[in-house]
Amino acid sequence: MVARETKMAEEGSGRRLRLISAVIIAIVAYLIFLSVVIVPLQGGTIPSTTILADDLSGNTAHHATNDLPVQTVGDISRSAVIAFAMLTHIIFANLHVGGAWIIVATTLLYFRYQRMRYKNLARSLTLFTLILFSAGSTFAAGGMMAIIALFPDLSLNIFHLYWWPIFIYFLLFGVIITLLFTYWFAWDRIRPGVHLALGFGYAISVFIQAVTVDTLAAGMLTPGVASFTFTESGLLPMTLDQAMALWFNPTLWELTFHRVAAAIAFFGFLIATLATAHYINQKDFAAKKQWDWVAAYG
């Protein structure tokens, strides 16, 4: 009877996984069809500035010759908005960067030693990271909108010089969402090897995303080039050598690995803090022992 119920549960899990896979494949196929067929047919590959070049060059309307209302805010207030949005995002983002590696390492320990405390902790941390990801992404979008609206010249230069790293950065959001949600919802429904592959894929994607945004952050410290000339307008307005020197600048890897190490320590400190709070509130000896272990693990 138990074997029959187990077999039925496995078959049900298999059907759900096939459904999830079919939905993901359908979305990818739709995006490919949209990019390759629909967008070119609709003229989506032609820049809007090219289409409206004549109209824009001779436009003297008030809205075309003045800043947006929000740009009349003073410099200190503008900086305060960016500081609030981006520093809040960085807190969530660094927890995400560190949490990804702690989660996959904890899951690896569970599959290696088959101790339920590792499994329970890994599942709790995964759910916690899902919540953090949603909050962090909200502040990231708000910060990007604020930079574009409050500092249009700066944002113009950022998108000119760092278009491809930023483009890859946003593409990786889709990859991370897919891997993280599959990792969580497919728990105990797929083979351990596949589950670990999803976990490591998720952690590596988060690391690559950190590298792409650090090309800009480190570039503000050490640009990598003393000067450069825009060769043309378009997706790569400089030579490839200049782009590589600009993106992979002298402090890129130092900043990235510092961020990863600090993020892991930050996430571990948060685990220890929350576990200590739970330890204090517990009356049962077994519960106290569990939370004492979690705090030590953090």
The answer on 155 and 84 residing in a single domain is yes
Q: Is residue 259 part of a domain?
A: yes
Judge contact between 169 and 213, C-beta under 8 A. yes
CA distance 111 to 157: 48
Average confidence score pLDDT of the chain: 81
Query: Rounded to an integer, what is the distance from CA 120 to the centroid of its chain?
Result: 25
The answer on 113 and 10 residing in a single domain is no
Judge contact between 214 and 262, C-beta under 8 A. no
Q: Is residue 53 part of a domain?
A: no
Q: Is residue 62 part of a domain?
A: no
For residues 47 and 280, the model is more confident at 280
Q: Is residue 67 part of a domain?
A: no
Q: Which residue is it, tokens 């989506």? A: 44
| Across 190-210, average pLDDT | 91
On the question of pLDDT at 265 being above 70, the answer is yes
The answer on 186 and 123 residing in a single domain is yes
What value does the CA radius of gyration of the chain take, rounded to a whole number of Å? 24
Helical pair 116-150 and 75-113, crossing angle rounded to 10 deg: 160
Residues found in the chain = 298
On the question of pLDDT at 172 being above 70, the answer is yes
CA distance 271 to 279: 12
Confidence of residue 7 (pLDDT cuts 50, 70, 90): low
On the question of pLDDT at 1 being above 70, the answer is no
Judge contact between 219 and 162, C-beta under 8 A. yes
Confidence of residue 2 (pLDDT cuts 50, 70, 90): very low
The answer on 143 and 13 residing in a single domain is no
Q: What does the pLDDT look like over 110-153, one tens digit per residue? A: 888 888 888 888 888 988 888 888 788 888 888 888 888 888 88
The answer on 132 and 26 residing in a single domain is no
Q: Give 191's DSSP letter.
A: -
**The predicted structure's pLDDT at residue 205:** 94
The answer on 262 and 160 residing in a single domain is yes
Phi-psi region for residue 128, left (φ > 0), alpha (ψ -120 to 50) or beta?
alpha
Judge contact between 132 and 92, C-beta under 8 A. yes
The answer on 92 and 7 residing in a single domain is no
The answer on 239 and 105 residing in a single domain is yes
The answer on 151 and 10 residing in a single domain is no
The answer on 138 and 222 residing in a single domain is yes
Q: What does the pLDDT look like over 64-95, one tens digit per residue? A: 555 555 555 565 567 778 878 888 888 888 88
Q: Nearest CA to 139 among 96, 206, 91?
A: 91
Q: Is residue 61 part of a domain?
A: no
The answer on 260 and 142 residing in a single domain is yes
**The predicted structure's pLDDT at residue 209:** 93
Domain total of the chain: 2
Q: Is residue 128 part of a domain?
A: yes
Q: Is residue 60 part of a domain?
A: no
Q: Is residue 64 part of a domain?
A: no
The answer on 82 and 33 residing in a single domain is no
| Across 159-176, average pLDDT | 89
Whole domain around residue 32: which residue ranges?
1-37
**The predicted structure's pLDDT at residue 215:** 92
On the question of pLDDT at 273 being above 80, the answer is yes
| Across 275-292, average pLDDT | 82
Q: What does the pLDDT look like over 218-245, one tens digit per residue? A: 988 888 777 777 776 667 777 788 888 8
CB atoms near residue 38 (< 10 Å): 11
| Across 208-219, average pLDDT | 92
Q: Is 123 helix (H, G, I), strand (E, B) or coil?
A: helix
Provide the Cα torsion 11, 17, 20, 24; round to 10°. -140
CA distance 161 to 148: 15
